[in-house]
Amino acid sequence: MKIGITCYPTYGGSGAVATELGLDLARRGHEVHFITYQSPFRLRGYTKGVLFHEVDTEMSRYPLFDHYPYELALASRQYEIAMQEKLDLLHVHYAIPHATTAFLAREMLRETHPIKVITTLHGTDITLVGQEASFYAISKFSIEQSNGVTAVSNFLRDETYRAFGCIQCELAVIPNFVNLAEYSPAVAAPRESLVPSGHKLLVHVSNFREVKRVKDVIRIFARLRKAMPATLMMVGDGPDRNDGEQEARDLGISEHVHFLGRIDSVAPLLAAADLFVLPSQTESFGLAALEAMACGTPVLAARVGGIPEVVTDGVEGLLEPVGSVEAMARRAIDLLRDPPRHARMREAALARAGDFSTDVVVPQYEAFYQKVLAS
Ligand code: GMT
Protein backbone atom coordinates (compact mmCIF):
# COMPACT_ATOMS: atom_id res chain seq x y z
CA MET A 1 0.00 0.00 0.00
CA LYS A 2 1.00 3.64 -0.42
CA ILE A 3 0.24 5.42 2.81
CA GLY A 4 0.40 9.11 3.71
CA ILE A 5 0.85 9.82 7.43
CA THR A 6 0.27 13.17 9.11
CA CYS A 7 1.00 13.74 12.80
CA TYR A 8 2.48 16.25 15.21
CA PRO A 9 6.20 15.81 14.55
CA THR A 10 7.35 17.19 17.90
CA TYR A 11 7.79 15.48 21.26
CA GLY A 12 4.60 13.61 22.19
CA GLY A 13 2.93 10.23 22.22
CA SER A 14 0.79 10.63 19.12
CA GLY A 15 3.78 11.64 16.98
CA ALA A 16 5.83 8.79 18.43
CA VAL A 17 3.14 6.22 17.63
CA ALA A 18 2.57 7.61 14.11
CA THR A 19 6.29 7.54 13.32
CA GLU A 20 6.95 4.07 14.72
CA LEU A 21 3.92 2.85 12.79
CA GLY A 22 5.21 4.36 9.54
CA LEU A 23 8.66 2.87 10.06
CA ASP A 24 7.28 -0.58 10.72
CA LEU A 25 4.85 -0.41 7.80
CA ALA A 26 7.82 0.41 5.55
CA ARG A 27 9.73 -2.59 6.95
CA ARG A 28 6.70 -4.66 5.98
CA GLY A 29 7.02 -3.51 2.38
CA HIS A 30 4.60 -0.58 2.26
CA GLU A 31 5.52 2.85 0.93
CA VAL A 32 5.11 5.53 3.61
CA HIS A 33 4.99 9.29 3.07
CA PHE A 34 5.13 11.53 6.14
CA ILE A 35 3.43 14.87 5.45
CA THR A 36 4.22 17.22 8.35
CA TYR A 37 5.75 20.63 9.04
CA GLN A 38 8.96 19.13 10.39
CA SER A 39 10.62 15.73 10.24
CA PRO A 40 9.04 13.64 13.04
CA PHE A 41 11.36 13.39 16.05
CA ARG A 42 11.60 9.61 15.91
CA LEU A 43 12.36 9.53 12.17
CA ARG A 44 16.11 9.15 12.43
CA GLY A 45 18.31 8.25 9.50
CA TYR A 46 17.29 6.50 6.32
CA THR A 47 14.67 3.77 6.16
CA LYS A 48 13.86 2.19 2.81
CA GLY A 49 10.31 3.01 1.77
CA VAL A 50 9.97 6.10 4.00
CA LEU A 51 9.80 9.62 2.58
CA PHE A 52 9.26 12.94 4.31
CA HIS A 53 7.37 15.82 2.67
CA GLU A 54 7.58 19.13 4.46
CA VAL A 55 4.60 21.42 4.83
CA ASP A 56 5.77 24.98 4.44
CA THR A 57 4.94 27.18 7.40
CA GLU A 58 7.02 30.17 6.37
CA MET A 59 5.96 31.17 2.88
CA SER A 60 3.27 33.63 1.99
CA ARG A 61 3.23 35.43 5.30
CA TYR A 62 0.94 37.97 3.72
CA PRO A 63 0.52 41.07 5.95
CA LEU A 64 -3.22 40.49 6.09
CA PHE A 65 -2.72 37.23 7.98
CA ASP A 66 -2.61 37.79 11.71
CA HIS A 67 -2.48 34.00 11.93
CA TYR A 68 -0.84 31.90 9.25
CA PRO A 69 -3.47 29.52 7.77
CA TYR A 70 -1.36 26.41 8.37
CA GLU A 71 -4.34 24.09 7.99
CA LEU A 72 -4.80 25.18 4.37
CA ALA A 73 -1.11 24.68 3.62
CA LEU A 74 -1.32 21.19 5.14
CA ALA A 75 -4.50 20.24 3.23
CA SER A 76 -2.90 21.45 -0.03
CA ARG A 77 0.25 19.44 0.67
CA GLN A 78 -1.76 16.32 1.50
CA TYR A 79 -3.63 16.79 -1.77
CA GLU A 80 -0.42 17.33 -3.79
CA ILE A 81 1.40 14.34 -2.31
CA ALA A 82 -1.61 12.04 -2.67
CA MET A 83 -1.79 12.96 -6.38
CA GLN A 84 1.93 12.89 -7.06
CA GLU A 85 2.66 9.65 -5.18
CA LYS A 86 -0.66 7.95 -6.00
CA LEU A 87 -1.42 7.31 -2.32
CA ASP A 88 -4.09 4.77 -1.37
CA LEU A 89 -4.89 6.39 1.93
CA LEU A 90 -4.11 9.19 4.35
CA HIS A 91 -3.71 8.11 7.96
CA VAL A 92 -3.85 11.09 10.30
CA HIS A 93 -2.98 11.07 13.99
CA TYR A 94 -4.69 13.39 16.48
CA ALA A 95 -8.00 14.70 15.14
CA ILE A 96 -7.30 18.44 15.45
CA PRO A 97 -6.70 19.72 12.80
CA HIS A 98 -5.53 16.63 10.92
CA ALA A 99 -8.90 14.92 10.43
CA THR A 100 -10.20 18.19 9.01
CA THR A 101 -7.30 18.83 6.62
CA ALA A 102 -7.47 15.22 5.41
CA PHE A 103 -11.19 15.61 4.77
CA LEU A 104 -10.45 18.72 2.68
CA ALA A 105 -7.71 16.95 0.74
CA ARG A 106 -9.97 13.96 0.07
CA GLU A 107 -12.72 16.25 -1.23
CA MET A 108 -10.21 17.97 -3.55
CA LEU A 109 -9.14 14.54 -4.84
CA ARG A 110 -12.66 13.19 -5.27
CA GLU A 111 -12.74 13.43 -9.10
CA THR A 112 -9.10 12.84 -9.96
CA HIS A 113 -7.65 10.39 -7.42
CA PRO A 114 -10.13 9.15 -4.80
CA ILE A 115 -8.48 8.15 -1.52
CA LYS A 116 -9.58 6.99 1.93
CA VAL A 117 -8.96 8.85 5.18
CA ILE A 118 -8.26 7.11 8.48
CA THR A 119 -8.12 9.07 11.72
CA THR A 120 -6.49 7.77 14.90
CA LEU A 121 -7.69 9.45 18.07
CA HIS A 122 -4.98 9.71 20.70
CA GLY A 123 -6.24 11.47 23.78
CA THR A 124 -6.70 15.15 24.44
CA ASP A 125 -8.07 15.60 20.91
CA ILE A 126 -11.14 13.92 22.47
CA THR A 127 -10.84 14.36 26.23
CA LEU A 128 -9.83 18.04 26.41
CA VAL A 129 -9.20 20.15 23.30
CA GLY A 130 -11.85 18.57 21.10
CA GLN A 131 -14.53 19.34 23.66
CA GLU A 132 -13.75 23.06 23.74
CA ALA A 133 -16.63 25.01 22.23
CA SER A 134 -14.59 26.39 19.33
CA PHE A 135 -13.44 22.94 18.21
CA TYR A 136 -16.35 20.68 19.11
CA ALA A 137 -18.48 20.89 15.96
CA ILE A 138 -15.61 20.64 13.49
CA SER A 139 -13.99 17.79 15.43
CA LYS A 140 -17.23 15.81 15.44
CA PHE A 141 -17.82 16.52 11.74
CA SER A 142 -14.28 15.59 10.69
CA ILE A 143 -14.22 12.38 12.74
CA GLU A 144 -17.58 11.32 11.29
CA GLN A 145 -16.37 12.09 7.77
CA SER A 146 -13.31 9.84 8.09
CA ASN A 147 -13.58 6.52 6.27
CA GLY A 148 -12.16 4.74 9.29
CA VAL A 149 -11.51 5.80 12.87
CA THR A 150 -9.37 4.12 15.50
CA ALA A 151 -8.88 4.88 19.19
CA VAL A 152 -5.88 3.79 21.23
CA SER A 153 -7.92 2.33 24.11
CA ASN A 154 -11.42 1.18 25.02
CA PHE A 155 -11.59 4.15 27.37
CA LEU A 156 -10.97 6.57 24.49
CA ARG A 157 -13.47 4.84 22.23
CA ASP A 158 -16.16 5.07 24.94
CA GLU A 159 -15.28 8.68 25.71
CA THR A 160 -15.58 9.55 21.99
CA TYR A 161 -19.05 8.02 21.83
CA ARG A 162 -20.05 9.75 25.07
CA ALA A 163 -18.74 13.20 24.18
CA PHE A 164 -19.32 13.29 20.43
CA GLY A 165 -21.99 10.72 19.69
CA CYS A 166 -20.27 9.89 16.40
CA ILE A 167 -23.31 7.93 15.40
CA GLN A 168 -22.04 7.53 11.88
CA CYS A 169 -18.68 6.06 12.76
CA GLU A 170 -17.59 2.69 13.94
CA LEU A 171 -14.58 3.11 16.17
CA ALA A 172 -11.98 0.36 16.13
CA VAL A 173 -9.68 0.04 19.12
CA ILE A 174 -6.06 -0.55 18.12
CA PRO A 175 -3.78 -0.10 21.12
CA ASN A 176 -0.42 1.60 21.12
CA PHE A 177 2.64 -0.57 20.75
CA VAL A 178 6.30 -0.76 21.61
CA ASN A 179 9.37 -1.90 19.72
CA LEU A 180 10.84 -4.58 21.99
CA ALA A 181 14.21 -4.45 20.25
CA GLU A 182 14.64 -0.83 21.26
CA TYR A 183 12.87 -0.91 24.64
CA SER A 184 14.38 -3.77 26.58
CA PRO A 185 16.14 -4.40 29.91
CA ALA A 186 19.25 -5.22 27.88
CA VAL A 187 19.83 -1.57 26.95
CA ALA A 188 20.06 -0.32 30.56
CA ALA A 189 22.60 2.43 31.23
CA PRO A 190 25.06 1.52 34.00
CA ARG A 191 23.50 2.51 37.34
CA GLU A 192 26.73 3.99 38.62
CA SER A 193 26.64 6.50 35.76
CA LEU A 194 23.22 7.70 36.93
CA VAL A 195 22.82 7.54 40.69
CA PRO A 196 24.98 7.32 43.81
CA SER A 197 25.41 3.82 45.15
CA GLY A 198 22.43 2.64 47.20
CA HIS A 199 19.99 5.12 45.62
CA LYS A 200 16.70 4.03 44.11
CA LEU A 201 16.08 5.59 40.69
CA LEU A 202 12.67 6.99 39.75
CA VAL A 203 11.95 8.33 36.25
CA HIS A 204 9.21 10.50 34.77
CA VAL A 205 8.92 11.18 31.02
CA SER A 206 6.37 13.58 29.56
CA ASN A 207 5.78 16.84 27.74
CA PHE A 208 5.29 18.62 31.08
CA ARG A 209 1.82 19.88 30.37
CA GLU A 210 -0.75 20.54 33.12
CA VAL A 211 -2.44 17.21 32.43
CA LYS A 212 0.76 15.38 33.52
CA ARG A 213 0.61 16.77 37.11
CA VAL A 214 4.35 17.35 37.21
CA LYS A 215 4.19 18.73 40.76
CA ASP A 216 2.64 15.47 41.95
CA VAL A 217 5.72 13.63 40.67
CA ILE A 218 7.92 15.89 42.81
CA ARG A 219 5.64 15.59 45.86
CA ILE A 220 5.55 11.79 45.65
CA PHE A 221 9.32 11.73 45.38
CA ALA A 222 9.76 14.13 48.33
CA ARG A 223 7.79 11.72 50.54
CA LEU A 224 9.71 8.72 49.26
CA ARG A 225 13.05 10.47 49.91
CA LYS A 226 12.17 10.61 53.60
CA ALA A 227 12.08 6.80 53.63
CA MET A 228 15.12 5.90 51.49
CA PRO A 229 17.97 7.39 49.46
CA ALA A 230 16.71 8.04 45.95
CA THR A 231 17.18 10.09 42.80
CA LEU A 232 14.48 11.33 40.40
CA MET A 233 15.12 11.92 36.69
CA MET A 234 12.62 14.19 34.95
CA VAL A 235 12.79 13.74 31.17
CA GLY A 236 11.11 16.07 28.70
CA ASP A 237 10.12 19.69 28.56
CA GLY A 238 7.02 21.82 28.46
CA PRO A 239 5.04 24.57 30.14
CA ASP A 240 5.05 23.08 33.67
CA ARG A 241 8.78 22.40 33.90
CA ASN A 242 9.50 25.62 35.80
CA ASP A 243 6.75 24.86 38.33
CA GLY A 244 8.24 21.40 38.82
CA GLU A 245 11.71 22.82 39.38
CA GLN A 246 10.34 25.36 41.85
CA GLU A 247 8.43 22.64 43.72
CA ALA A 248 11.65 20.64 44.07
CA ARG A 249 13.39 23.72 45.48
CA ASP A 250 10.50 24.51 47.84
CA LEU A 251 10.55 20.96 49.17
CA GLY A 252 14.32 21.08 49.62
CA ILE A 253 15.04 18.13 47.33
CA SER A 254 16.35 19.82 44.18
CA GLU A 255 19.77 18.26 44.69
CA HIS A 256 18.19 14.84 44.07
CA VAL A 257 15.89 15.81 41.19
CA HIS A 258 17.46 16.13 37.75
CA PHE A 259 15.55 17.87 34.98
CA LEU A 260 17.20 16.47 31.85
CA GLY A 261 15.11 18.19 29.19
CA ARG A 262 14.28 16.36 25.97
CA ILE A 263 16.49 13.43 25.19
CA ASP A 264 16.44 11.34 22.06
CA SER A 265 16.72 7.86 23.44
CA VAL A 266 15.09 7.26 26.81
CA ALA A 267 15.23 3.45 26.82
CA PRO A 268 18.64 3.17 28.59
CA LEU A 269 17.35 5.39 31.38
CA LEU A 270 14.00 3.61 31.65
CA ALA A 271 15.73 0.24 31.79
CA ALA A 272 18.00 1.40 34.62
CA ALA A 273 15.09 2.75 36.70
CA ASP A 274 13.36 1.13 39.67
CA LEU A 275 10.03 2.86 39.12
CA PHE A 276 8.36 4.91 36.39
CA VAL A 277 6.03 7.63 37.71
CA LEU A 278 2.98 8.86 35.75
CA PRO A 279 0.36 10.51 38.01
CA SER A 280 -1.54 12.23 35.12
CA GLN A 281 -4.94 13.87 35.40
CA THR A 282 -6.03 11.92 32.35
CA GLU A 283 -4.22 9.50 30.07
CA SER A 284 -5.94 7.75 27.20
CA PHE A 285 -3.28 5.03 27.08
CA GLY A 286 0.06 6.01 28.63
CA LEU A 287 2.59 5.08 25.95
CA ALA A 288 5.47 6.20 28.18
CA ALA A 289 4.34 3.70 30.83
CA LEU A 290 4.27 0.90 28.25
CA GLU A 291 7.79 1.80 27.12
CA ALA A 292 8.97 1.65 30.74
CA MET A 293 7.31 -1.76 31.18
CA ALA A 294 9.04 -3.06 28.05
CA CYS A 295 12.30 -2.11 29.76
CA GLY A 296 11.24 -4.16 32.79
CA THR A 297 10.37 -1.17 34.95
CA PRO A 298 7.19 -1.21 37.06
CA VAL A 299 4.84 1.77 36.85
CA LEU A 300 3.34 3.99 39.55
CA ALA A 301 0.40 5.77 37.95
CA ALA A 302 -2.99 7.35 38.41
CA ARG A 303 -5.91 4.97 38.01
CA VAL A 304 -7.37 6.95 35.16
CA GLY A 305 -8.45 6.72 31.52
CA GLY A 306 -6.85 3.88 29.60
CA ILE A 307 -4.04 3.20 32.06
CA PRO A 308 -5.79 0.25 33.75
CA GLU A 309 -6.01 -1.38 30.29
CA VAL A 310 -2.21 -1.44 30.24
CA VAL A 311 -1.23 -1.77 33.91
CA THR A 312 -2.96 -4.04 36.41
CA ASP A 313 -2.70 -2.72 39.95
CA GLY A 314 -0.40 -4.88 42.06
CA VAL A 315 0.80 -6.90 39.06
CA GLU A 316 2.88 -4.74 36.69
CA GLY A 317 2.58 -1.59 38.72
CA LEU A 318 0.71 0.44 41.31
CA LEU A 319 -2.43 2.47 40.60
CA GLU A 320 -4.00 5.05 42.89
CA PRO A 321 -6.62 7.78 42.30
CA VAL A 322 -5.53 11.02 40.63
CA GLY A 323 -3.91 13.42 43.11
CA SER A 324 -3.47 10.88 45.90
CA VAL A 325 0.14 11.76 46.46
CA GLU A 326 0.27 10.24 49.97
CA ALA A 327 -1.07 6.87 48.86
CA MET A 328 1.18 6.79 45.80
CA ALA A 329 4.26 7.53 47.88
CA ARG A 330 3.34 4.96 50.53
CA ARG A 331 2.85 2.22 47.96
CA ALA A 332 6.09 3.10 46.18
CA ILE A 333 7.98 2.90 49.48
CA ASP A 334 6.44 -0.51 50.31
CA LEU A 335 7.36 -1.85 46.88
CA LEU A 336 10.93 -0.56 46.84
CA ARG A 337 11.50 -1.98 50.34
CA ASP A 338 10.50 -5.44 49.12
CA PRO A 339 13.08 -6.58 46.49
CA PRO A 340 11.49 -10.00 45.78
CA ARG A 341 8.11 -8.35 45.09
CA HIS A 342 9.82 -5.69 42.98
CA ALA A 343 11.57 -8.40 40.94
CA ARG A 344 8.25 -10.18 40.36
CA MET A 345 6.70 -6.90 39.21
CA ARG A 346 9.59 -6.35 36.80
CA GLU A 347 8.94 -9.76 35.22
CA ALA A 348 5.21 -9.10 35.02
CA ALA A 349 5.80 -5.69 33.40
CA LEU A 350 8.02 -7.28 30.76
CA ALA A 351 5.51 -10.01 30.04
CA ARG A 352 2.62 -7.54 29.75
CA ALA A 353 4.58 -5.32 27.34
CA GLY A 354 4.83 -8.34 25.04
CA ASP A 355 1.06 -8.11 24.49
CA PHE A 356 1.66 -4.69 22.91
CA SER A 357 4.68 -5.46 20.78
CA THR A 358 5.02 -3.95 17.30
CA ASP A 359 4.64 -7.42 15.79
CA VAL A 360 1.31 -7.92 17.52
CA VAL A 361 -0.22 -4.50 16.87
CA VAL A 362 1.00 -3.22 13.47
CA PRO A 363 -0.74 -6.10 11.59
CA GLN A 364 -3.97 -4.85 13.17
CA TYR A 365 -3.45 -1.52 11.38
CA GLU A 366 -2.67 -3.33 8.11
CA ALA A 367 -5.90 -5.34 8.42
CA PHE A 368 -7.83 -2.16 9.23
CA TYR A 369 -6.40 -0.41 6.15
CA GLN A 370 -7.44 -3.35 3.96
CA LYS A 371 -10.94 -3.28 5.39
CA VAL A 372 -11.33 0.46 4.81
CA LEU A 373 -9.90 0.28 1.29
CA ALA A 374 -12.35 -2.50 0.44
CA SER A 375 -15.35 -0.57 1.78
O1 GMT B 1 -3.57 13.83 23.81
C2 GMT B 1 -2.43 14.18 24.10
O3 GMT B 1 -2.05 14.55 25.21
C4 GMT B 1 -1.45 14.17 23.05
C5 GMT B 1 -0.83 12.87 22.86
C6 GMT B 1 0.58 13.20 22.58
O7 GMT B 1 0.84 13.54 21.43
O8 GMT B 1 1.37 13.17 23.51
O9 GMT B 1 -0.89 11.96 23.99
C10 GMT B 1 -1.93 11.01 23.96
O11 GMT B 1 -1.56 10.05 23.02
C12 GMT B 1 -0.61 9.09 23.44
C13 GMT B 1 -0.33 8.16 22.26
O14 GMT B 1 -1.49 7.54 21.84
C15 GMT B 1 -1.15 8.34 24.65
O16 GMT B 1 -0.24 7.35 25.07
C17 GMT B 1 -1.36 9.35 25.78
O18 GMT B 1 -1.95 8.67 26.88
C19 GMT B 1 -2.28 10.46 25.32
N20 GMT B 1 -2.28 11.53 26.34
C21 GMT B 1 -3.35 11.81 27.08
O22 GMT B 1 -4.41 11.23 26.98
C23 GMT B 1 -3.17 12.90 28.06
The CATH number of whichever domain residue 62 belongs to comes to 3.40.50.2000
Residue-wise burial string across 154-166, b where 16 or more C-beta atoms lie within 10 A, e elsewhere:
ebbbebbeeebeb
Residue 200: what pLDDT? 98
- In a shared domain, residues 216 and 132: no
- In a shared domain, residues 213 and 157: no
Domain extent at residue 88: 2-177+358-374
| CA dist., res. 362 & res. 27, Å (int) | 11
Instruction: Quote the number of domains for the chain.
Output: 2
- In a shared domain, residues 22 and 64: yes
**Ligand 1 atom at minimum distance from 120 CA:** 14
Element (H, E) at 121: strand 116-121
| CA dist., res. 9 & res. 54, Å (int) | 11
pLDDT digits (tens, 9 = 90+) for 137-195: 999 999 999 999 999 999 999 999 999 987 667 899 999 999 999 999 999 999 999 99
Residue 60: what pLDDT? 62
Contact 177, 357 (CB under 8 A): yes
- Give nearest CA residue, ligand 1 atom 14: 122
- Give nearest CA residue, ligand 1 atom 12: 13
- What does pTM read for this prediction? 0.95
- In a shared domain, residues 309 and 213: yes
**Ligand 1 atom at minimum distance from 15 CA:** 7
| CA dist., res. 41 & res. 149, Å (int) | 24
Element (H, E) at 373: helix 358-374
- Give nearest CA residue, ligand 1 atom 3: 124
**Ligand 1 atom at minimum distance from 290 CA:** 16
- In a shared domain, residues 208 and 172: no
The Å distance, Cα 20 to ligand 1 centre, comes to 15
Residue 61: what pLDDT? 66
Q: For a pocket test of ligand 1, which of 129, 211, 287, 361 has the largest count of ligand atoms closer than 8 A to its C-beta?
A: 287
The Å distance, Cα 159 to ligand 1 centre, comes to 14
Backbone angles phi, psi at 196, to 5 degrees: -60, 155
**Ligand 1 atom at minimum distance from 156 CA:** 22
Residue 268: what pLDDT? 98
Please report, as a single letter, which amino acid is at residue 175.
Answer: P
The Å distance, Cα 336 to ligand 1 centre, comes to 28
CA count, 13 A, side-chain hemisphere, 249: 7
339-354 vs 287-294: helix axis angle to the nearest 10? 110
CA angle 17, 22, 26 (to 5 degrees): 150
- In a shared domain, residues 168 and 239: no
Residue 105: what pLDDT? 98
**Ligand 1 atom at minimum distance from 287 CA:** 16
The Å distance, Cα 353 to ligand 1 centre, comes to 18
Backbone angles phi, psi at 149, to 5 degrees: -135, 135
- In a shared domain, residues 109 and 99: yes
CA angle 247, 237, 121 (to 5 degrees): 115
The Å distance, Cα 124 to ligand 1 centre, comes to 6
Residue 100: what pLDDT? 98
- In a shared domain, residues 247 and 137: no
- In a shared domain, residues 71 and 143: yes
**Ligand 1 atom at minimum distance from 125 CA:** 1
- In a shared domain, residues 173 and 198: no
- In a shared domain, residues 121 and 213: no
Residue 8: what pLDDT? 95
| CA dist., res. 135 & res. 139, Å (int) | 6
List all residues whose CB is within 6 A of at least one atom of ligand 1. 8, 12-15, 17, 122-125, 127, 152, 176, 207, 211, 280, 282-287
Positions in the chain whose pLDDT score sits under 70: 59-61, 167-168
- In a shared domain, residues 95 and 237: no
